Structure 1
Amino acid sequence: MQNQAAEAIQQAMLPHLDNAQMRQLSFALDFVLSQYDIHPKDGVAIVDLGPSNDELMQAFLSAKQLEGCSSNTIRYYRTTIARMLSSTSKNLGRIRTEDLRSYLCNYELRSQCSKVSIDNVRRILSSFFSWLEAEDYILKSPIRRIRKIKTTRTVKEIYSDEALERMRDGAKTARDLAIVDLLASTGMRVGELVKLNRNDIDFEHRECVVLGKGNKERIVYFDARTKIHLKEYLDGRNDQSPALFVSLAAPHNRLLISGVESRLRELGRELGIDRVHPHKFRRTLATKAIDKGMPIEQVQRLLGHAKIDTTLMYAMVNQGNVRASHRRYIA
Structure 2
Amino acid sequence: MINDTARLMNDLDVVVNTIAPDIESKLLVVRLEEVLSNYEIHRKTQKEIDNDIQEKINIFLSARKIEGLSNVTISGYKTELSMFAKYMNKAVVQVTTAEIRRYLAHNKDWMISTVDRKLSVLKSFFGWLVQEELLLRDPTLKIKAPKKPKRMPKGLSIEELEIVRESCETLRERALMEVLYSTACRLSEIENMKITDINIQEMSARVVGKGDKERVVYLSYKAIYHLRRYIKSRNDECDYLFVTTRKPNRKMTDRTIERIIDKINKRANISKKLTPHTFRHSFVTLAMENGADLADVQHLLGHEDPRTTLIYAHVSEERKKQAHKRYHVQ
TM-score normalized by structure 1? 0.82
The 1-side partners of 2:46 and 2:243 are apart by 60
Residues 212-242 of structure 1 deviation map (CA, whole Å, 9 limit, x = unaligned): 1222211101112222222222233332222
Q: Which residue of 2 aligns with 1:113?
A: 110
C-alpha distance in structure 2 between counterparts of 1:213 and 1:24, whole Å: 45
| SS in structure 2 at match of 1:219 | strand
Letter in 1 for 2:119: R
1:167 aligns to 2:135 (yes or no): no
Return the offset for 1:94. 4.5
Equivalent residue, structure 2, for 1:73? 73
Counterparts of 1:26 and 1:68 in 2: how far apart (Å)?
44
Q: Distance in 1 between matches of 2:322 and 2:40?
A: 75
Equivalence for 1:60: 60
Give the counterpart letter for 1:59 in structure 2: I
- 1:309 is matched with which residue? 307
Q: Whole-Å Cα distance in 2 between the matches of residues 194 and 127 of structure 1?
A: 27
Q: TM-score, normalised by structure 2?
A: 0.82
Q: Distance in 2 between matches of 1:20 and 1:116?
A: 35
* Distance in structure 2 (CA, Å) of the matches to 1:89 and 1:201: 48
**Is 73-82 or 158-167 further displaced after alignment?**
73-82
1:260 Cα offset (Å): 1.9
**2:311 alignment partner, SS class:** helix
Cα 1:284–1:10 shift into 2, 3 Å: farther
SS at match of 1:166: helix
Is 1:5 aligned with 2:5?
no
With 45-54 and 315-324 compared, the bigger mean Cα shift is at 45-54
Question: Do structure 1's residue 190 and structure 2's residue 190 form an aligned pair?
Answer: no
The answer to whether the 8 Å contact 2:242/2:251 transfers is yes
Within 5 A, what are the aligned runs for 1:80-229? Answer: 80-88=80-88, 91-104=91-104, 106-107=105-106, 110-229=107-226
Judged with a 3 Å threshold, the aligned counterparts in structure 2 of structure 1 residues 200 and 322 are, in CA distance, closer, same or farther, namely: same
Do the aligned residues in 2 keep the contact of 1:181 with 1:225 (CA within 8 Å)? Answer: yes
2:84 and 2:25 map into 1 onto residues whose CA distance is: 27
What is the one-letter code of the residue matched to 1:75? Answer: S
For 2:69, give the aligned amino acid: C
Q: Which amino acid aligns with 1:218?
A: R
Shift of 1:249: 4.3
Query: Are 1:32 and 2:31 matched, yes or no?
Result: yes
Moved more, 125-134 or 261-270: 261-270
Aligned length: 322
Identity of aligned residues (%): 28
Letter in 2 for 1:57: I
Task: Name which of 252, 257, 261 aligns with 1:255.
Answer: 252
* Shift in Å, 1:204: 0.6
Asked if 1:282 is matched to 2:280, the reply is yes
Question: Residue 236 of structure 2 aligns to a residue in which SS?
Answer: coil
Q: Within 2, Cα distance between the matches of 1:321 and 1:260?
A: 34
Partners of 1:79 and 1:328 in 2: CA distance: 52
Using the alignment, how far apart are the partners of 2:99 and 2:27 within structure 1?
26
Shift of 1:27: 8.7
For residues 235-259 of structure 1, what are the alpha-carbon distances to aligned partners after superposition, in whole Å with 9 as ceiling and x for unaligned?
Answer: 3333222221223344333222222
Change in CA separation of 1:50 and 1:113 when aligned onto 2, cut-off 3 Å: closer
Aligned alpha-carbon RMSD (Å): 3.5
- 1:217 corresponds to which letter in structure 2? E
Structure-2 separation of matches of 1:50 and 1:23: 33
242 and 112 in structure 1: CA distance in 2 versus 1, 3 angstrom threshold: closer
| Partner SS state of residue 61, structure 1 | helix
Deviations 1:185-219 (A, max 9, x none): 11011221121221111011110101212222111
- Would the alpha carbon gap of residues 21 and 59 (structure 1) be closer, same or farther in structure 2, given more than 3 Å must change? farther
Query: 1: CA distance between counterparts of 2:27 and 2:94?
Result: 19
Quote the Cα distance in structure 2 between the aligned partners of 1:145 and 1:174: 52
Name the stretch that deviates more: 76-85 or 58-67: 76-85
Contact 2:51 2:91 in 1 (8 A): no
Letter in 1 for 2:280: R
Moved more, 43-52 or 222-231: 43-52
* Shift of residue 23, structure 1, vs aligned partner: 8.1
Q: Could you tell me how far apart the structure 2 residues matched to 1:91 and 1:32 are?
A: 30
Conserved? CA contact 1:283–1:315, under 8 Å: no
Gaps of 5+ in 1: none
